Structure 1
Amino acid sequence: MTADAIAITGIDCRFPAAEGPGGYWELLMRSGDTARPVPADRWAASDFPCEAGFLSDPDVFDHEFFSLSPREAGSMDPQQRLMLHCAWRAVEDAGIAPHRLAGTPTGVFVGVMGSEWAQLTLTDLSGITAQIGSGNGYCMIANRVSYHLDLKGPSLAVDTACSSSLVAVHLAANSLLAGECDWAIAGGVNLALTPALGIFYTQAGLAAPDGRCKPFSADADGIGRGEGVGAVVLRRYADAVADGQPVYAVLRGTAVNQDGRSNGITAPNRWCQEAVVSSAYRRAGVEPSDVTFTEGHGTGTILGDMIETKALGALHSGRPRPMALGSVKGNLGHTEGAAGIAGLIKVALALHHRTVPASRFSARENPALNLPDQGLRLLKAPLRLGAGPVVAGLSSFGLGGTNAHAVLESAPRGPHARAGKASRPSDTREGSAHEGTPLGIPADRNPTDTPPPRPSGLGTPLFTLTAPSEAALRRNLLAQADSITRRRTPLGPLCWSSHRIKSGHTHRCAVPATDPTDLAARLRTAAEAPALAAPPTEPPFTAWLFTGQGAQYPGMAARLYRESPLFRHHFDAVDTVLLPHTGGRVRDLLLGADPAVHRTGWAQPALFAVGYALGASLTELGVRPDLLLGHSVGEFAAAVLAGALPLEGAAQLVAVRGALMQELPEGGGMIAVRSPAEPLREYVDHEPLVGYAALNGPASTVLSGDLAALGRIAEALEHRGTRVRRLEVSHAFHSPLMRPVLEPFHRLAEQIGGGVPGLPVYSTLRGKLLESEPMDATYWTEHISASVLFADAAAQLLDEGPTHLVELGPKPVLTALARQLTSHRPHPVHPLPGEQAGARDLAEALATLYRAGLDPDWEAVHPPQDRVLTRLTPYAFATDHRFWHRGLPTPPPAQRPKTPDQTRPAAATATDTAVLEAVAHVGGYHPADLSPDARLYEDLGLDSVAVMELKARIEQSLPALGELPVQELLSRLSTLGDLIAYVTEHHIQEHHVQQHHIQEPTP
C-alpha cells in the first residue's frame, strides 16, 4: 500500500428506505426504488407534484443526547441534525468512542448544496432569533459536529453543487496527508424542503417527469431528486492499521478540477472530465486497465450521460475486458450535495463485500452511448469480485463545473492486514500494530528485547455499554441484543469492541456472558429490569476482606483456575514460591479436590494462595484496594498486596506456620458462641487453657483451647440458653495451646522481616488501622496466639465509608459479619462466591465495580486474540422528539428535559414564576416539566447566547429587579435552582437599596 493511502474506517448513512450501511447495502443488492410522492409536510403537491427519493421522518432528532434545548433544536436546519446523528454513528463504526476524539485535531468536511431551510426561516426578518441565526448556514453543518464532539481540526462546509461531498472527501484526504488532522469525518447531506430546485430542473430541461434518474439507460429522461446523509471516517492507512481498525476500503488517490468556460456554466465539459479522471489515476498510481468498475456520476440526462461515457471511453476503450459502470442515482435519485458520499459509500461497501450491485435501469442501455466501443458495460446482475486487490473509480461532477474523481482499492485481508502490518511512508518494513501495542517501536528491534506479555484473560468475556440516560441505556441494550441475535460474531472481539466504542456516558451496564446467545438474552434481561444502576459520581471506594481458616473446602477455586487465564497465572506464581516449603503443589491439591485441604499444614497455604491470586488478579484488572483487612491467616495476603511483605517471604511464613501448627498434639478445639465477649469472661478466666480466638461481632465470639475445658464452658452456656456451635478444626488456633510454635516461628520471621504497609491495613491483631507499626517478626509471632479482633478492626474500616466490600476467599464469610456492624450497608462483591464459582463470577464481580464507576484495565480483561475490533450496531438515538416547522419556527410542544430529579420547584413567589417562565420560553420547555436540579447547560441546553436572552427576559418580567450583572450571573449559575436563588437574592438586595434611598432625608 502506498504511503499516501487513506483508509475508510467508519461509515454511516441514511438514505430513503435505507437506514445505515446495512440497510443501504440491502437496497443496492435488491435494486430498490425509493421514489415516492411528496410528503404532506414538505409542500403542496400542486406546487410541484413530481415524485422523489424522500427520507422518512427527517424531523426526528435526539436533542437531549446533544444537550440542545427544544427551541434551539427546532431552529436548526434539519441537515445539521441529520449530520450530527450520522457523524456520531460513523465514528462509532470506526471503532472508537466519539468522546475519545475530544480535543484532538480531527477534521470535519461536509458537502452541502442546498440551504432550503434558510428560505423558510430567514425571510421573516422580524422573527429572526439567535437560534435561527446559528441554525442556518452551510458552515454550521460542519461546525455543529466539531462543536458537539469537541474536535480541534479543520471544520468546513463545501459547496461545489453536485460534487460537494466528494470534493469534501478530497479535502479531508489532503488534510490528513498534510498532517493538519489525524482523523477526518467527511460527508454530505441533502434535504428537499421546497419545490424550488425541482422547478429549476424543469425550467432547465433537466427534470425526469416521473422523478427517477435512469443512468445510461435508453429510458433516461432527466433528473429525479433524492435525499440523504452520509459520512465516512478517514485515517492515514498506516495509522488505521497500527490501531487495529477494520478498513472498508482504501482511498488511493483523488483529483478535482473545473470545466472552465464551456458550453454554458451548467453544461459539462468532456475534456475536463477526462482530465480529472486521468489525474486521479496518476495520483493513485494505477493504469486505466487496473480499474474493475466505476461508480459514475450518472444523472440520467441524455447530454450528461453522453459526455461522461465519452470521457471514460477516452481512457478505457480498447480494454480486453470492459469496465463495469453504474450509478446509485438509479436507486436514490440525485442526492445533490450528498451525491458524492452516496457513491463513495456504495463503492466502499462493494469492495468490502467483494460484490458490485447491479445498476438499476441497466436492462435497456442507451444505444447512443455505444458503451462497448468505449470499453464500458452496465451491470445487469451483481458482479462478484475475485480474490486479490480490486481497484474502483468514482466520479462526481458539479452543476457549475467543479469535477471530482476518486480511486479506491479493496482493503488487504488476512492475518497481515488484521494484525495491522502496513508499509510506512518512508520505510517498507513491517511493524506490529495490535491494539494496545505501543507505537513507534523500531521494526528491526530484537524480539528478545520485548518484555514478557502481561497476564490477561478474565476467562468470561464482559460486554459493556454506556448511555447518557436510563431510557437511552435500555434502548441501546435492546438494539445491541437484536443485532447480536442476527449476526455471527465471536464473543471475545465483540466484548473487546464494546468497551472501546460504547464508553464515555454516565449510565453504565456490564454483562458477562458465555456465548452470543447468552449475551443477547442477558442484555434483554438487563434492559427490562425494574431499575438499572444509578450513574456513578466517582469510582468505587473498595475495602478488601481476606477470609481466614475455616472457609476452605476440597476443590476450592478449581473451576476458576481452569477457566480464567489471569487467575491461573497468579495462582501458579504463588504456588511456585510455596512449593519449596510445602513439599507439594497446592494446585494439585485443589484441582484434585483432596480432602487433605482441611489439614492445617495444607489449609493455610491454600487459603493464602487463593486470597493472593484473587487479589493479584483484581489488581491486574485495574481494581485497587482502598482499605484492606485480613482475618487471621488472611492477613498475610493483605500484607503482601499492601507492600508490607514480599510474596516469597509471606509464602514461607504461611507454609511454616501451618506446618508447625499441624505438628502440635491433638486435643484442642474451638466453639462459636452467640454472645458478646464480656459475659463469657467468667468462664474463660477460670480455664487457663482457653482463650478468645476471635471477636467477630456484638454477638459473635469464638473460644479456643483445650477440648475438655471447652466442653465445660459449652455445657454451662447451653444450660443458660446461649447458642453454642462446635467448629470442625484440627487444633485450637489463637489460644494458649499455640505457645509451643511461637519461638521456632519467631526465628524464621526475624530472617524474613516485614515493613509498614503502603496501603491502609486494618489489623485484626490490633483491632485498628496500622499506622506506623511494621508487620515484622514480632507482629506475626504475636499474631499466632492472640485474639482476632475482627469486629473492632472492621468497625473502624467501615467508618471510612467504603462503597463496596470485596471478599477474597473461597466463599463469603466476612462480608456478612461486616455488614452487621454498620447501617450504611456497603455493596458486597464476591469474586469466588462458592464451590461452583468460576470465571463468570469473577467477571460479574468486575461488572459490579464497573457499573459503580470503575474503569478496568481492559487489556487484562481480554486476551490478545480477542483484541480485534469488530463493528457494533451504532448508537440508537431517541425517536420520540420531532422538530419540523413551516416558515418561522415556534417553540415546539413541551419536551421534558433530561434531569436527574423531576422534583418540581414550588413556584410560590412572583420571582419563582418569572424565572420558570423565562427558562421555559428560552428553552422551549413547559414550566411544569422543569426541575430545580436541572443543569442549565448540560440538561437544558442553554448556552451563553441563550443565557443572555434569559437575562433580558427575566429583567423584563421583573422590572424592579434592575439589571442583572452578566459576569456574576454566569459565574454563579449551574442549575435552575441556583438561578432562582440568585434572582431572589438579587431582588431582595435591590429592594433594600431602594428602601434605603426612600428613607434617606433630603438635604
Structure 2
Amino acid sequence: MLALAGGVRLRIGWDEDRPDHLTEEAPVPGEGGCLFALKRLSLALADGDRVRCVILGGAVHNGRGEEPAIPQGVTQAQVLRDACARAGVAPGRVSYLTVDGGGASAQDGIGTATRALLRSGRAHDSGAATDSADTGIGRLGSVAGVAGLLKSVLSIEHRCLPPDPGDIRRLPRPWPGAEGVPLLAGVLASGADGTHCHLVLGEAPPATPDTPAAPGRSRRATGRGGARPTMLVPWVLSGRTPATLRAQARRLLDHVAGRPQPAPEDVGYSLATTRASFEHRAVVLGAGAEDLMDGLEAVAAGRDDPRLVMGRTVPDTGPVFVFPGQGPQWPGMARELLRTSAVFREGVEACAAAFEPFLDWSLLSLLSREEPDAAAWNRADVVQPALFTTMMSLVGLWRSHGVEPAAVVGHCVGEVVAACAAGGLSPADGARVVALWSRAQARLSGRGAMASVLLPEEQVRSQLRSWGERLAVAAVNGPNSTVVSGDGDAVRQFVTEVSALGVRARPVAIDLATHSPQTDELMDEIRSALAPIRPRSSPIPFYSTVVAGRLDTKELDADYWCRNLRRTVRFEQAARLALGHGHRLFVELSPHPVLAMGLRDTFEDAAPDAVVMGTLRRDRGGMEQFLHSLARAHVHGVQVDWAPVFSAPGDRRVDLPTYAFQRQPC
C-alpha cells in the first residue's frame, strides 16, 4: 500500500509580490511543489524501495483560531512533546528542527517553551539546530511545512544540514551532536486556523539478513532459486515520442558513463521496476556494460542494432496466445529451458505427471536427453505429447513474467493446448486427449503425408479436384497459405506439379494424413477413448478453428476432438474473427514459429497495424531467445513483469536520470 502527500504553491497573482510590498520582515515570495511517497517500513524494505528516512511519530494540536504567525509557546511545545512521546524519543534528542511561519529567522517561529523543551537533557544547555522552511526558497505560506519536511528528509539522507543563511560560501553544515548517535529531526508546521503539527523523523534502518526480501528486490522476484537464468540483461526505455526515446537513451548513457558505473543488473532492475512505460519503447539486451552502452548509443542515434528491440505499442487489448499443430518440433527443443528455468521445468514435470497414466515412456527423459532418439521424433504418439508439454510449459513461462492471454487460438493439437491454457480443459484431460488421440493417429503412420502450399484455398481446391478423396485441404492458415493432406504418393506428386508452376510448396514433417478421409476409421475409437473428459466454460475467449468462431469451452467434448482431427483447420477465419474483436497482438507459443507467415498475410488484408511474434526458434531454445521474445512483446504494448529476470539476491535499485522532457508546446 502506497500513499502520496505533498503540496504546491504557484505565484499566480501579482499584487502580493509587487516590490513595494516586500520588506525585510517579509521575504521574497517563493513557489514550487513537492510530493512524498509514504509506505509502511516493513513493506518498503520487502519491496526493495529506497527508504530516505522514517517518520517515527507525529502529533496535531487544534489551536482553535490562534494566530499562526505568532508562536504559541504552550501549544507548540505540547505538540512537540506529544509527537516525541509517540516516536519514543526524548525532545532533547531532536538535533535539527525546521519551522514555518517564522519570517526570515527560524528563531522567530519557535516559542520559549519549545526552545526550553529542545534544550532539555542536553549538555552545556545547547539546543537543536534550527532552520526556517522559507530560508533559501522564499515565502511559501501554507505549504511551508512541505518544504520543511523536504529539507529534513534530505538532511537526514545526506547527513548534513543546509547552509547557514549568513554563509556567503553556501557550504553545508555538519550535523550537530555526537558522532555515531542516530540522527533525529523535527518538522513544525502551522495551519491557517492556528493548528500546529509536528513530525519526528529518523534514519532508515540498515539492511540486515533478516530483511524479508533482499534490498532492491521485488517480493515477486524471489523464491525461484536465486540464480539468473541468462547472461543477457535488459535495459528498458520508453518515451512519448521517438525524439524523447532517443533523448532518454542519451541521458541514461551519459549517466552511466560519467560516474563509477553501477552494476548493469542494478540499472536494468531499476529501469524495469521504477519507470513508467510510454508508447515508443526500446529494450537493449547485452551481456555486460559495454554491450548495453553500445545498444544505448544505437537507440540515441536512431539506428538498428542486433542488441536492440524497438517498437511502438499497439491498441491495448492484451495478447492472443497462438498454438500450432505438429510441425514446429525439433530434438532438444526443451533441453536448455529445462536446465535454466525453474518455472519451465515445473511445467514439464506437471505435464509428465499428467501423461504418466497414458504413456509407457518418460516425457522428461525424452525432452532432456543430450543425444535425441531420432526414430522417436518421427512418431506422432511421441511428437504430440512432447509438443503439448513444451507449449504448456511456455504458457507457464510467459505467465511467470506477468503475461496473460486475452484470448487463445490453436491449430490441431495446438487447440488442445489452447483449451488448457484458457482453463477449458484440466491438464489431466488435455493429456488424455493428446495421448489417446495421437496413439490412434499413429496407426496411420507411413500411409500419408502433408504439404504446405502458398496459394489461396480456392486455387488449391481447384487443383485437387482431379485427385478425388486421395487429397484434401487440411488447413487454411492465411489468405495465401494452405495445407494439403492425403496419400503419401499423391501429396509428393502434387508438390512436384505445383512447384513446376512456380508455386512455393514444401512437405510438412509428418508421415500421416490428418484432416483427410484417412482419419474416418479412427473416429469411433477416439470418441470412446475421450468420453471421460469433462470440459468447462472458460473466462478467456477461445477461438475455435473447427467452427471458425468463438466457442464456449464447455463444448470441447469427445465429439469436438473427433471433428478437430477430421475437418479442415479454419485458422485464418478464427484469426480474422479475433482481429474483428479488436485483438492486435498475437504471440505464437511454440519451439519454432510456423503460423506467423499466414498471420502476417491475414493482417495485411484485415488489420495492417496487428503484430505477431514467436517465442523460441529452431536451435535457439533457451532463456536468451525467450528474453528477446519478451522484449518484443513489451515494445508492442504487452504488460511484462520484468522482476523475475532480476531474481539474483544482489540486484538492487539505483538512482537513474529523470524523464527527458522535450519542452515543446502542445
* TM value normalised by structure 1: 0.51
Q: Paired residue for 1:610?
A: 390
The change in CA–CA distance for 1:303 and 1:110 in structure 2 (over 3 A counts) is closer
**Pick from 34, 39, 64: which aligns with 1:231?**
34
Q: Paired residue for 1:678?
A: 461
The change in CA–CA distance for 1:700 and 1:469 in structure 2 (over 3 A counts) is closer
Question: 1:409 deviation in Å?
Answer: 1.8
Question: 1:637 deviation in Å?
Answer: 0.8
Conservation of the 8 A alpha-carbon contact between 1:246 and 1:869: yes
Mapped to 2, the partners of 1:671 and 1:397 lie a distance apart of: 81
Mapped to 2, the partners of 1:403 and 1:644 lie a distance apart of: 61
Letter in 1 for 2:557: D
Mapped to 2, the partners of 1:718 and 1:281 lie a distance apart of: 88
Which of structures 1 and 2 has the bigger CA Rg? 1
Alignment of 1:744-763 (within 5 A): 744-752=525-533, 754=535, 761-763=542-544
The change in CA–CA distance for 1:516 and 1:329 in structure 2 (over 3 A counts) is farther
Alignment of 1:132-531 (within 5 A): 194=19, 197=22, 200-201=23-24, 229=32, 231=34, 233=36, 235=38, 241=44, 244=47, 246-251=50-55, 252-253=57-58, 281=84, 284-288=87-91, 290-291=93-94, 316=119, 319=122, 326=129, 333=136, 335-337=138-140, 344-353=149-158, 355-356=159-160, 389-393=182-186, 407-415=200-208, 419=212, 475-476=247-248, 478-480=250-252, 482-483=254-255, 502-503=275-276, 507=279, 509=281, 511=283, 513=285, 517=289, 525-526=298-299, 529=302
Q: Paired residue for 1:950?
A: none
The change in CA–CA distance for 1:692 and 1:402 in structure 2 (over 3 A counts) is closer
Mapped to 2, the partners of 1:417 and 1:289 lie a distance apart of: 32
Q: Paired residue for 1:591?
A: 368
How many residues of Structure 1 are paired with residues of Structure 2 in the alignment?
634
Question: 1:846 deviation in Å?
Answer: 4.9
Question: 1:604 deviation in Å?
Answer: 0.9
Question: 1:349 deviation in Å?
Answer: 2.8
Mapped to 2, the partners of 1:860 and 1:702 lie a distance apart of: 39
RMSD between superposed Cα atoms in Å? 5.8
Q: Paired residue for 1:817?
A: 598
Q: Paired residue for 2:586?
A: 805
Conservation of the 8 A alpha-carbon contact between 1:295 and 1:325: no
Question: 1:552 deviation in Å?
Answer: 0.8
Question: 1:816 deviation in Å?
Answer: 0.4
Letter in 2 for 1:250: V
Q: Paired residue for 1:174?
A: none
Q: Paired residue for 1:647?
A: 427
Question: 1:648 deviation in Å?
Answer: 0.8
Q: Deviations over 1:381-404 (max 9, x none)?
A: 677986684333467899xx9998
Letter in 1 for 2:349: D
Q: Paired residue for 2:349?
A: 572
* SS of corresponding position for 1:645: coil
Conservation of the 8 A alpha-carbon contact between 2:450 and 2:511: no
Conservation of the 8 A alpha-carbon contact between 1:570 and 1:613: yes
Q: Deviations over 1:273-294 (max 9, x none)?
A: 9888667655644235534566
* SS of corresponding position for 1:582: coil
The change in CA–CA distance for 1:830 and 1:775 in structure 2 (over 3 A counts) is same
* SS of corresponding position for 1:746: helix
Q: Deviations over 1:214-268 (max 9, x none)?
A: xxxxxxxxxx97967463527475697599554322343468899x99xxx9999
Q: Deviations over 1:861-915 (max 9, x none)?
A: 88697998776544454556xxxxxxxxxxxxxxx4x2xxxxxxxxxxxxxxxxx
The change in CA–CA distance for 1:194 and 1:491 in structure 2 (over 3 A counts) is farther
Question: 1:830 deviation in Å?
Answer: 1.7
Mapped to 1, the partners of 2:573 and 2:281 lie a distance apart of: 36
- 2:607 is equivalent to residue 836 of structure 1: no
Letter in 1 for 2:438: G
* SS of corresponding position for 2:353: helix
Mapped to 2, the partners of 1:461 and 1:796 lie a distance apart of: 38
Letter in 2 for 1:352: E
Conservation of the 8 A alpha-carbon contact between 1:629 and 1:763: yes
Q: Deviations over 1:942-1001 (max 9, x none)?
A: xxxxxxxxxxxxxxxxxxxxxxxxxxxxxxxxxxxxxxxxxxxxxxxxxxxxxxxxxxxx
Alignment of 1:656-667 (within 5 A): 656-662=436-442, 666=446
Question: 1:598 deviation in Å?
Answer: 2.4
Mapped to 1, the partners of 2:538 and 2:492 lie a distance apart of: 40
Mapped to 2, the partners of 1:651 and 1:497 lie a distance apart of: 41
Mapped to 1, the partners of 2:118 and 2:318 lie a distance apart of: 69
* SS of corresponding position for 2:358: helix
Q: Deviations over 1:304-328 (max 9, x none)?
A: 69x9999858854874599696567
Mapped to 1, the partners of 2:537 and 2:200 lie a distance apart of: 66
Mapped to 2, the partners of 1:232 and 1:866 lie a distance apart of: 29
Letter in 2 for 1:778: D
The change in CA–CA distance for 1:637 and 1:593 in structure 2 (over 3 A counts) is farther
Mapped to 2, the partners of 1:408 and 1:739 lie a distance apart of: 79
Question: 1:827 deviation in Å?
Answer: 1.1
Q: Deviations over 1:90-132 (max 9, x none)?
A: xxxxx97xxxx7xxxx6655689xx6x64xx34xxxxxxxxxx
Conservation of the 8 A alpha-carbon contact between 1:656 and 1:745: yes
Alignment of 1:121-132 (within 5 A): 121-122=14-15
Question: 1:646 deviation in Å?
Answer: 2.4
Mapped to 1, the partners of 2:654 and 2:564 lie a distance apart of: 53
Mapped to 2, the partners of 1:196 and 1:525 lie a distance apart of: 55
Q: Paired residue for 2:321?
A: 544
Mapped to 1, the partners of 2:112 and 2:349 lie a distance apart of: 70
* SS of corresponding position for 1:677: helix
Alignment of 1:52-131 (within 5 A): 109=7, 118=13, 121-122=14-15
Mapped to 1, the partners of 2:116 and 2:534 lie a distance apart of: 87
Letter in 1 for 2:464: R
Q: Deviations over 1:522-551 (max 9, x none)?
A: 566545548985676x52364433112121
Q: Paired residue for 1:920?
A: none
Higher relative contact order (CA 8 A, sep 6+): 2
* TM value normalised by structure 2: 0.71
Conservation of the 8 A alpha-carbon contact between 1:327 and 1:359: no
* SS of corresponding position for 1:750: coil
Per mean C-alpha deviation after superposition, the further-off stretch among 797-806 and 319-328 is 319-328
Mapped to 1, the partners of 2:76 and 2:538 lie a distance apart of: 75
Conservation of the 8 A alpha-carbon contact between 1:705 and 1:735: yes
The change in CA–CA distance for 1:562 and 1:226 in structure 2 (over 3 A counts) is farther
The change in CA–CA distance for 1:329 and 1:661 in structure 2 (over 3 A counts) is same
Letter in 2 for 1:290: R
* SS of corresponding position for 1:812: coil
